[in-house]
Amino acid sequence: MQTDRPQPRSSASEDHNLMDTIDAVPLAKGHLPLLGHGASLLRDPLGFVSSLPSMGKLVRVKMGPMTVIVVCDPQLTREVLLDDRTFDRGGPLYDRSREGAGEGLGTCTYATHRRQRRLCQPTFRLDRFPGYAKVMATAVEDVTRSWRDGQVIDLSSEMSKLTVRVAVRTMFSTSLPESTVQQVSDDFGVIAEGVFRRMVMPPLVNRLPTPGTRRYYQAKDRLRRIGAQLIAERRSDDRDRGDLLSSLLSARDPEAGADSASMTDIELSDQIFTFFLAGAETTASTLAWSLYMLGRAPDVEQAVHAEVDHVLTDRTAVFDDLGNLPTLNRMLTETLRMYPAGWLLTRVVARETELGGIRLPADTTVAVSPHIIHRREDIYERANEFVPSRWEDAKPDRTTYIPFGAGARKCIGDQFALTEAGLALATIAARWQLAALTDRPVSPSLKHLPAPRNLMMRLTSRITVEGAPGIAEQPVR
């Protein structure tokens, strides 16, 4: 009889005595008592994981007392991502994410994933995207309308404000009070930062009543209350409003019985939380990194400005424009290569298996990192440089370019995120030039991931008195 759990792969049983154990996997440098590699991950997470491939295809990393096998090879990474029965979603990243998102689509295990995917899939049909794009364009207008020439903005904060507005309006088709939208934006920023911090620190440290821990739980509780209130209101008025919540409320699982075909309130709350955490914050990260990198690459910036000036002539970008902006799209592709929001993903081995000649017992924690693969010099020439032109004659390869993951657990909202980011970048680039206040490059700590926190940028209007595109004055660099 077929079970719900993954079966051991034949290679693990047939060659059991020929394979090495986990102890044969090299241990990453910088290990400290109690903290393991937590200090290195907190201080320089991207630099730390980028150093691992030099040690081998698999590397042992300590997150507190927990041993994690980090996969550094693209083929083995794909093997893990495609086999979600054996390498189930779990480990410190998803354990921490479940504290807030519950068992939503992004955090649930294999046992419930297929049902959730069937229920959520209609929400992201491409024929719904023109409608979503209108909401996105309105949110871009709302946020950028308040900007002034010469103003200094906190880029990540402004992008979070934008993406939370998109999330609120596409999910609920209603405008929450400005104070609530700002609170939601702030709370998700606290949670996104807290998830990664709590992932690498020992459980004992996470239980300490520090100010950061208190802020984390307060933010989670506030967001849960807001979601529960909005679900209750919509249950009492079941009109289809054309938004994400209406789609989720009306979704039915054709493979389930009548009593379990639709989502419960708890499932709905988990999906809403997941959508905000996995959607709003990660897209804000992509926008912030894109605009930051654009400001540091004058040649790319000039080409993008010329393109949006020609296509938009200062109007707000719409869905049909996205196919006419190849330069901007290459810039976005390159940003996602350099700074994938899901830079480290963890899995748990369901039953004993083999990976790269190593026998992995059940419950072994495995991590894959799009950042590791995207920054390998043997795959990408000038891998640590922002080079959008690399995509002029090349298409992203599904094994070596994985900003949204792969397989059945690939991000269901990838096209939603790309649409939102493309519309926002095009409209902002048509009207504004952004420059960092310092030439010193950002060195991301764990606090800066997935987005570069406290990145101050000066705005320079690109709209002349007559209203035509053009640089009003040179930005202060």
Residue 302 sits in a domain whose CATH number is 1.10.630.10
Q: Is residue 470 part of a domain?
A: no
Question: Which residues does 139 contact at the CB level (< 8 Å), separation at least 6?
Answer: 162, 163, 165, 166, 169
Q: Is residue 467 part of a domain?
A: no
Give the HSE-up count for residue 11: Cα atoms under 13 Å, Cβ half-sphere: 11
| 53 exposure class (CB count in 10 Å sphere: 0-12, 13-18, 19+) | buried
Structure tokens at 134: 């209108």
| Sign of the C-alpha dihedral computed for residues 327, 333, 338 and 341 taken in this order | positive
Q: What is the pLDDT along the chain (477 residues), one digit of tens a residue?
A: 444 444 445 444 455 555 789 999 999 998 888 788 888 887 888 889 999 999 999 999 998 788 999 999 999 999 999 999 999 988 766 777 777 667 888 888 898 898 889 888 888 888 889 989 999 999 899 889 899 999 999 998 899 889 988 888 888 776 667 787 778 778 877 877 777 677 667 677 777 888 888 988 898 888 888 888 888 888 887 777 778 888 888 888 877 665 567 888 888 888 888 887 777 888 999 999 999 999 999 999 999 999 999 999 878 999 999 999 999 999 999 999 999 988 888 899 999 999 999 999 999 999 999 999 999 999 999 999 999 999 999 999 999 999 999 999 999 999 999 999 999 999 999 999 999 998 888 776 655 566 677 789 999 999 864 455 554 443 333
The pLDDT of residue 92 is: 66
Question: Which residues does 102 contact at the CB level (< 8 Å), separation at least 6?
Answer: 266, 269, 270, 273, 274
Q: Is residue 235 part of a domain?
A: yes
How many Cβ atoms from other residues are within 10 Å of residue 84's Cβ?
A: 20
Query: How many whole angstroms separate alpha carbon 114 and alpha carbon 408?
Result: 9
Beta sheet of 432-436, edge-to-edge order: 152-154, 456-461, 432-436
Structure tokens at 102: 């519950």
Q: Is residue 352 part of a domain?
A: yes
Q: Is residue 476 part of a domain?
A: no
8 Å CB contact between 446 and 467: no
Q: Is residue 101 part of a domain?
A: yes
Q: Is residue 469 part of a domain?
A: no
**Chain centre distance of CA 33:** 31
8 Å CB contact between 26 and 51: no
309: left (phi over 0), alpha (psi -120 to 50) or beta: alpha
**b/e code 284-319 from CB counts within 10 Å (16+ = b):** bbbbbbbbbbbbebeebbebbbebbbebbebebbbb
The CA-atom distances, in angstroms, between 62 and each of 31, 88, 196, 197, 199 are: 7, 20, 15, 14, 11
The pLDDT of residue 298 is: 96
- Domains of the chain: total: 1
Q: Is residue 468 part of a domain?
A: no
8 Å CB contact between 400 and 81: no
Query: How many whole angstroms separate alpha carbon 409 and alpha carbon 117?
Result: 9
The pLDDT of residue 474 is: 39
| Sign of the C-alpha dihedral computed for residues 61, 66, 67 and 69 taken in this order | negative
Backbone angles phi, psi at 359, to 5 degrees: -80, 125
Residue range(s) defining the domain that contains residue 68:
10-461
Question: Which residues does 140 contact at the CB level (< 8 Å), separation at least 6?
Answer: 162, 316, 317, 423, 424, 427, 428
**Chain centre distance of CA 270:** 17
